[in-house]
Structure 1
């Protein structure tokens, strides 16, 4: 018995020494227990926890949690499949963009070199191309891909949360003393908070934001593989570590090629080295010890693509004029945006009400704003708590640091666009808050199990309901902008974008009312003045249209549509030379504006300058090869020059594009008659009458061909 007791005591001391060594390496309290009884009790507790951490049903429990997360996420975002493309970048990105429609060499070259719409996102374009090959331009397919990618992110976040909660537990107590079922449940809660939060809706239900959900897949996968590589370095051969690290590097490259936010991966990996991995705090030999240098040098391969894509992202924003220049926004203005933004997302995470696709930046930001002062105090307070309690609450400090790091690129320092904040910016940056809430539930579950479970259930149900409600506003452009106006009625761009939809529908009065409301809120909005010019011109108010267009040009001389509208309005007033000059200026600013080129061709023809008119119409056909109206005008111009054969070719192409237009068939019949092809002309006139039986001009021409045929027989 004595021998057994001695052995047991020795074993206990050896175990305690190992535990103590682990605690010392983690940089935590290394004081040994003062009493043997305390040591024994700790051993019993650790052994019980070890047994609990390897329960036989763990794989089934983990699988059930994963299945619940995946099903809940897919079900929560299923309504997004009923959403269409909206007039908020969707149209320019997808329906009006022909470059991504396939995977040919030329199309792939475009995808990997373009900065279309101010973004460098080659892999996102590749996925759009795959969607087009499968669905063409059916919005349902594009939204389905977004939902699938978001569901995949929910699963990846579950795995990552489970891993990080386990690492945090070991960092805190020095042993793997967290029950796996409780840890999986906490990770599941974190994943559901992340996936079902209504702040995620914008990134999923907005087709254009494919880059958010796609880059997150590779971002989260990179972190998971990196954690595996770090574990392999300690417990596996060096070759295994290198293999895992190479895989992490490859995934990080895919992340940055999906969206520039992937450039923040090196900083996030270094933050994980601080906590919960504690690879830096446990290294001996000073700040630049060999162990620390090794950790730092690991990040160099990640930094190279991150730096390259960061430069490309800044260039992309500047290339389309969305990046606010330093002189256009003061330092105080940028700080205003940063402070409001840093406070906005935690607040909306806790209280996700009145979410909108656009939170417009005030024209004159004021530091005396009470909301700004509250935001500044809140951000400063949380930051100070995180800094001063970083040893006692390292998880809080790490999560807050991750949030600041991931939000920094879209803060006011690199302001892009008119928004003060955007729900989509929360997709990865606020993931740490979900992880923090999951960890808090794990901490409190033992003592307050029922209240924690009840609160978690009610909270998730509420999040799911708010998410489905938020998805509804993305149904179409009208629902989108009406929701913004209802929640934030002083948003000038919402009136502008709704007016665009009214113009398309021919509701000129409603369009004019919205444009005037927009200009009341933002008097120097040049694009709104340009649209107002078009609206007034369409209503027959040419003089007022000229005035609005000239005001828009004064504010923004490079605004091509304003010059085009000015040219059309001047033509309506009979000022043809000035109209031609205005249209030429519009084309100098935008060579691909086939509509302005077509108007210019018509004006040149009326002025007797037929050769120039044909040249402009031919250029319009080159810019818009699928527009039948271009070929119709080209046929008329060729006919005026007496060039019947080219005219027949042009009108035939117009009919191929729009075979149900009786006017095109009549023109073809007339050209056939002029060319001596009476039977072909009769067929064309008959086809026009089949399309519109009451078309009198077609009837007269058909009768005339019959008379000609009779005379010829005589």
Structure 2
């Protein structure tokens, strides 16, 4: 017991110590939309609406099919405690990271010795690739998802060891909460299966039917969650407004991403927010390397099973399965983000710990542990330094541009940062440079239009809004912006036209229906306004604002 407490204290200290300087960082990028500008988190009476709304509700142009109510609830709790003091939100993120590092220690102890579990969990606690998930407040989805997945997996494995149904039943709500935190938690049945096989190989050989039956509960949870999501929020598991790459491109890009992930874990020196990877051929070196790594992983699993090494079996399978969400993200054409590697990195650091422990064949028995602690301090120093890059949106934007000077997305983010800091000419320059590299990028056109609108260049703003429409005819965001532009200028017919088109293209947003209702109301079309408000309430049935607007319309329709 004393050894366990010491190990927990060491892991917690390493996990917290190298993130202390993040408490001085400000809100960055999506934090503005999800926290500062998100009035839903400011009142607990909005809790029902949070659970019946898409996560990216404020950003119609984002993949609004994403459903992460627990992240919003955590921001709501933060706001109640800290209001808009960033250090409080950072404290919550670091606390979850400390908890995850401790859970990682206990999970590794299922498969290996306490010393190796300590080595692996310390490396997990300090690895610099985690700064995006920990230091970036909006990266909390990864932290929450990992917390509930790790906790649920431990309960599930304890049931397998003790044959305790209460533990088994207690693990299922944890998986529900993981799914409420981030959609990629859908991989948890595969993670559980691999963890269970690695922990109890003899049970799978002797009683495969009972072990297989234990997997039905997690599958039931997954199906029930997606059914509830569809009924409550009106969205499906996979829908999004973006076009997916072809199957061959998808496959090749996924392979390339695997090599990039492994490279960042092995050599965390070129860390930055965006890691774009364009189209590649099957002959690309990184693609070939990924294929070789997958073959090596398969051979390693077979060798670990034959030599009875459950830790290696668990580490390899957890890492490979944990990378499966890359398939989903690449389908959304999103550049590789370091936060995605948070959960699968647990398998990687366990394999590293096993490798370091093997050195005791030729060195004193305590040497691997001290070597691991020295490596952890070095990695922690990189993490401490990396935290400074996330000081504010300007700092991280400039860092992203320095790493990828010709990345249109990095230029757009930097331009938006300049906009927030009031430097409109520099923002315009960033957007123009981005359009020079990607003339059809709708996000750059929208951002440049916003800059022109701020400068009073209304004609130029409309021109770029129109260009955004040409670039992506299926995206509703540009239609919504144009609707607001004409609404502000009192051109109600044009506003109604663009709001109607936005609703047609994306009918899942209560905000779009509400704006269309406003355009109808201002024109005196009360019946149409009532129809749109009722449609908005079907999407967000607990919105007090929508209810009040509907009552106003109904009172005006009374004879």
- TM-score above 0.5: yes
Find out whether 1:263 has 2:210 as its counterpart.
Answer: no
Residue 444 of structure 1 aligns with which residue? Answer: 359
1:339 alignment partner, SS class:
helix
| C-alpha spacing 1:543/1:368, structure 2 compared with 1 (3 Å) | farther
**Distance in 2 (alpha carbons) for counterparts of 1:71 and 1:262:** 28
Q: Aligned residue for 2:48?
A: 109
**Superposition map of 1:61-80 within 5 A:** 61-80=3-22
Q: C-alpha displacement at 1:390, in angstroms? A: 4.2
The number of aligned residues is 515
What is the CA–CA distance in structure 2 between the aligned matches of 1:595 and 1:478, rounded to whole Å? 33
Give the structure, 1 or 2, with the largest relative contact order (CA under 8 Å, sep 6 or more): 2
Residue of 404, 416, 424 corresponding to 1:508: 424
The answer for the alignment partner of 1:427 in structure 2 is: 342
- Evaluate the alpha carbon distance shift between residue 420 and residue 368 of structure 1 in structure 2; reply closer, same or farther with a 3 A threshold: farther
**Length-normalised TM-score, structure 1:** 0.64
Matches within 5 A, 1:304-323: 304-309=220-225, 323=240
User: How far does residue 432 in structure 1 lie from its aligned partner after superposition?
Assistant: 0.9
Alpha-carbon offset, residue 148 of structure 1: 0.6
Q: Please state if 1:195 is matched with 2:121.
A: no
Cα deviation, 1:649-704, whole Å, max 9, x if unaligned, reads xxxxxxxxxxxxxxxxxxxxxxxxxxxxxxxxxxxxxxxxxxxxxxxxxxxxxxxx
2:357, 2:368 within 8 Å by CA — same for their partners in 1?
no
1:466 CA displacement: 1.2
Coordinate RMSD, CA, aligned = 3.8
> Are 2:326 and 1:396 aligned?
no
In structure 2, the partner of 1:224 is 154
Q: Matched residues in 1 for 2:35 and 2:291: separation?
A: 39
Q: Does the Cα contact within 8 Å between 2:250 and 2:331 map onto a contact in 1? A: no
Q: 1:105-144 to 2 correspondence within 5 Å?
A: 107-117=46-56, 118-144=65-91
Partner of 2:465: 549
Pairing 1:86–2:28 present? yes
Cα shift at 1:562 = 4.3
Q: How far, CA to CA, are the matches of 1:568 and 1:220 in structure 2?
A: 45
Say whether 1:338 aligns with 2:261.
no
Structure number with larger C-alpha Rg = 1
Give the whole-Å Cα distance in 1 for the aligned partners of 2:55 and 2:204.
Answer: 44
| Larger displacement relative to structure 2 (478-487 or 216-225) | 216-225
User: Residues 309 and 343 (structure 1 numbering): CA distance in 2 closer, same or farther, change over 3 Å?
Assistant: farther
Counterparts of 1:571 and 1:131, CA distance in 2 = 35
Check 1:76–1:312 CA distance in 2 against 1; reply closer, same or farther (3 A cut).
farther
Q: Give yes or no for contact 1:323–1:416 (8 Å, CA) kept in 2.
A: no
What is the aligned partner in structure 2 of residue 100 from structure 1? 41
1:532 aligns with 2:448: yes
| Residue from 218, 222, 246 that aligns with 1:302 | 218
Task: Please state whether the residue corresponding to 1:533 is helix, strand or coil.
Answer: helix
1: CA distance, partners of 2:318 / 2:143: 18
- Say if 1:74 and 1:147, in contact at 8 Å, map to a contact too: yes
558 and 65 in structure 1: CA distance in 2 versus 1, 3 angstrom threshold: same
Report the counterpart of residue 555 of structure 2 in structure 1. Answer: none
Runs of 5+ in structure 1 lacking a partner?
A: 1-58, 166-182, 234-240, 284-290, 627-714
Partners of 1:496 and 1:518 within 8 A in 2: yes
Please say if residues 549 and 566 of structure 1, whose CA atoms lie closer than 8 Å, have aligned partners that are also in contact. yes
What is the alpha-carbon distance in structure 2 between the residues aligned to residue 500 and residue 278 of structure 1?
Answer: 53
- Indicate if the aligned counterparts of 1:530 and 1:548 stay in contact, CA closer than 8 A: yes
Q: 2:339, 2:381 → 1: CA distance? A: 19
User: 1:102 touches 1:132 (CA, 8 Å); kept in 2?
Assistant: no
Maintained 8 Å contact 2:487/2:495: no
CA separation in 1, counterparts of 2:486 and 2:160?
A: 70
Q: Deviations over 1:563-597 (max 9, x none)?
A: 5776899999xxx89x6554333443378589999
Match of 2:537? none
Matched, 1:160 2:76: no
C-alpha displacement of 1:537:
4.8
- The answer to whether the 8 Å contact 1:263/1:305 transfers is no
Alignment partner of 2:135 out of 205, 211, 214: 205
Does 2:95 match 1:148? yes
Q: CA deviation at 1:479?
A: 1.0
Shift in Å, 1:543? 4.8
Deviation at 1:328, TM superposition (A): 3.5
Compute the displacement of 1:334 (Å).
0.9
Is the 1:545–1:566 contact (alpha carbons within 8 Å) kept by the matching residues of 2? no
User: What SS does the corresponding residue of 1:99 show, helix, strand or coil?
Assistant: helix
TM-score normalised to structure 2 length = 0.81
Distance change >3 Å, CA 192–CA 298, structure 1 → 2: same
**After the TM superposition, which residues 580-619 of structure 1 pair with which residues of structure 2 at under 5 Å, given as runs?**
581-588=493-500, 589=502, 592=511
Partners of 1:268 and 1:294 lie apart in 2 by 18
Q: Give the SS at the match of 1:360.
A: coil
Residue 481 (1) aligns with residue 422 (2)? no
8 Å CA contact 2:254–2:330 kept in 1: the answer is no
Partner of 2:133, secondary structure, is helix
8 Å CA contact retained: 2:397, 2:417: no
Secondary structure of the residue that 1:100 maps to in structure 2?
helix
CA drift of 1:541 comes to 4.8
Task: Quote the Cα distance in structure 2 between the aligned partners of 1:136 and 1:540.
Answer: 34
Q: 1:321 to 1:519 in 2, by over 3 A?
A: farther
Question: What is the Cα deviation at residue 339 of structure 1?
Answer: 0.4
Q: CA, structure 1 residues 245+594, in 2 after alignment: closer, same or farther (shift >3 Å)?
A: closer
Structure 2: gaps spanning 5 or more residues: 57-64, 504-509, 533-542, 546-559
Partner Cα separation in structure 2 for residue 337 and residue 99 of structure 1: 37
Contact 1:361 1:418 in 2 (8 A): no
Q: Distance in 1 between matches of 2:92 and 2:418?
A: 30
Using the alignment, how far apart are the partners of 2:315 and 2:426 within structure 1? 48
**Alignment map for 1:50-65 (pairs within 5 Å):** 59-65=1-7
SS of residue paired to 1:164: coil
Q: 1:469 to 1:564 in 2, by over 3 A?
A: same
Maintained 8 Å contact 1:215/1:259: yes
Q: Could you say if the C-alpha distance between residues 413 and 246 of structure 1 is closer, same or farther in structure 2, counting changes exceeding 3 Å?
A: closer
